[in-house]
Amino acid sequence: MVASAPTGSEAQIEILRGGERQDLAVQISSRKSRAVAADQPAAEQVQGWQGLTVAEADGKGVVIEAVEPGSAAAEVGIRPGDVILSVGGEEVNSVEGFAAAAKRVKKDRPVRMLVRRGDSLMYLAFTPR
């Protein structure tokens, strides 16, 4: 598993591209610290945002590192690599800022998020559970 491979080592992964399997060699590197809503202690957990892993972005926003299949985030189309720039109109510039904005969102109420995907900007409506 790549997650347990030591930094600097090489790992083999298999991908599916255009309906065909391909084997790739990847170099394992370190990554910036992250916040995992589902893994935070209960007192610090951002309710309803489970399944969404974010990290500091280069510049503005927080970058999505992982989205758990079947989560509310996956259902609205949030993808790894997306950058969340604002939550409920509140600009987000750090993992801590994202967590603070997320805690202010009411459960089961849609919130508008400004998301950058590549060169495009879009708004997504996300409903925390």
Q: Which residues contact 33 (CB under 8 A, 6 or more apart)?
A: 55, 56, 95
Q: What percent of the chain has pLDDT over 90?
A: 22
Verdict on whether the full-model pTM lies above 0.85? no
- Residue 36 pLDDT > 60, yes or no? no
What pLDDT is attached to residue 40? 37
Instruction: Sketch out the chain's domains with CATH numbers.
Output: 1-30 (no CATH), 31-126 (2.30.42.10)
Closest CA to 106 of 63, 45, 48, 28: 48
- Residue 8 pLDDT > 70, yes or no? yes
pLDDT in tens, 86-120: 999 999 988 888 888 888 888 788 889 999 999 99
Print burial letters for 97-109: b (CB count within 10 Å at least 16), e (below 16): bbbebbeebeeee
* Strands 52-56 vs 34-36: parallel, antiparallel or unpaired: antiparallel
